[in-house]
Amino acid sequence: GHPLCKDPKNPRNGTGGPNPNSPFEIPGQGPAKRDGSGSIKDEHTAKISNEPGTLSMANAGPNSGGSQFFVNTVHNSFLDWFDKSTESQHPVFGKVTTGMDVVKAIEGVATDQNDNPKQPVQMIKVSVKA
């Protein structure tokens, strides 16, 4: 759910998305429930900040990363895992190197009251480079 959601009964929990009309990120979609399966151990050690265009892992606390991710559209340093002044700890594991115009277009898509796009947004092709 929302990167800052700590309440398992929150209606946003498990959606992979931020609060409705949140301007700071574009979420990826993951499973609609948290049942304790599929999470991974925290292993990322690079201190890369949640800057615009970075791909970051959503989680609910230590060792709870899974298939939920988001693309930062502004600098969200409060989400940095190495910033001990906040409980939010979302490690960056990628960056959009070409196509930020597409990210900005997705950011501008109209959403409903549950922050779901009114018209489907589909990724047709994504290239991953090491």
91 pLDDT band, cuts 50/70/90, is: confident
98 pLDDT band, cuts 50/70/90, is: very high
Q: What is the mean pLDDT of residues 52-58?
A: 91
Is residue 95 pLDDT above 70, yes or no?
A: yes
Is residue 3 pLDDT above 50, yes or no?
A: no
Is residue 94 pLDDT above 80, yes or no?
A: yes
Separation CA 34–CA 58 (nearest Å): 12
Name the range with the highest mean pLDDT among 1-10, 61-70, 94-103, 120-129: 94-103
Decide if 106 contacts 26 (C-beta within 8 A). Answer: yes
Residue closest to 104 by CA, chosen among 72, 67, 68: 72
Tell me the domain boundaries of the chain.
Answer: 1-31+47-108
Is residue 1 pLDDT above 50, yes or no?
A: no
pLDDT value at residue 57: 86
pLDDT, tens digit (0-9, with 9 covering 90-100), for 108-122: 999 999 888 899 888
Strands (E), 21-89: 25-27, 54-57, 69-72
Out of 2.40.50.140, 2.60.40.10, 2.40.100.10, 3.30.2270.10, which CATH number does the structure's domain 1-31+47-108 have?
A: 2.40.100.10
